[in-house]
């Protein structure tokens, strides 16, 4: 699965415009231009999602990534790519759609 390596500085949003940010930062880790390489060890939360269903707020609150398929690891954990499968979820674990990875300068590409 080719794609560009994600790091903790990558701009990611939920499908409704909320901002995805790293909730946990494992100590140590591999850095890319000073930012930690994103791996399956990180947890991601969504801030500011305005999504509603029939007028009831149902914001995205977390993102779950499916890392794997590349065989590339950092600190023993699979790295995340801009092509990695992911899903945003509400607090009730209702799937809300995939996150949106902003186009950024490609620093490392995995093939």
Burial 39-75 (b: 16+ CB within 10 A, else e): bbbbebebeebebeeeeeebbbbbbebebeebebebe
Instruction: Check pLDDT > 90 for residue 56.
Output: yes
72 versus 52: which is more confidently predicted?
52
Q: What local confidence, expressed as pLDDT, does residue 48 receive? A: 97
Q: Tell me: the pLDDT tens digits for 77-97?
A: 888 888 889 999 999 999 999
What confidence category does residue 110 fall into, taking pLDDT thresholds of 50, 70 and 90? low
What confidence category does residue 109 fall into, taking pLDDT thresholds of 50, 70 and 90? low
Distance CA 58, CA 46 (A): 12
What confidence category does residue 28 fall into, taking pLDDT thresholds of 50, 70 and 90? low
List residues bridging with 33 in a β-sheet: none
Q: What local confidence, expressed as pLDDT, does residue 50 receive? A: 97
66 CB-near residues (< 8 Å, 6+ apart): 84, 85, 86
Q: What local confidence, expressed as pLDDT, does residue 55 receive? A: 95
CA dihedral sign of residues 11, 13, 18, 19:
negative
1 CB-near residues (< 8 Å, 6+ apart): 69, 70, 81, 83, 84, 110
pTM (whole model) above 0.85: no
List residues bridging with 68 in a β-sheet: none
Q: Are strands 3-4 and 12-13 parallel, antiparallel or unpaired?
A: unpaired
């Amino acid at each position: 699965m080719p794609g560009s390596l994600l790091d903790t500085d990558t701009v990611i949003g939920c499908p409704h415009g909320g901002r995805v940010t790293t909730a946990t930062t494992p100590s140590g880790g591999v850095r890319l231009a000073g930012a930690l390489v994103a791996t399956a060890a990180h947890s991601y939360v969504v801030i500011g999602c305005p999504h509603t269903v029939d007028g009831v707020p149902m914001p995205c609150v977390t993102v779950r990534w499916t890392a794997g398929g590349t065989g590339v690891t950092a600190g023993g954990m699979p790295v995340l790519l801009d092509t990695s499968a992911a899903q945003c979820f509400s607090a009730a674990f209702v799937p809300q759609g995939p996150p949106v990875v902003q186009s950024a300068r490609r620093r490392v590409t995995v093939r």
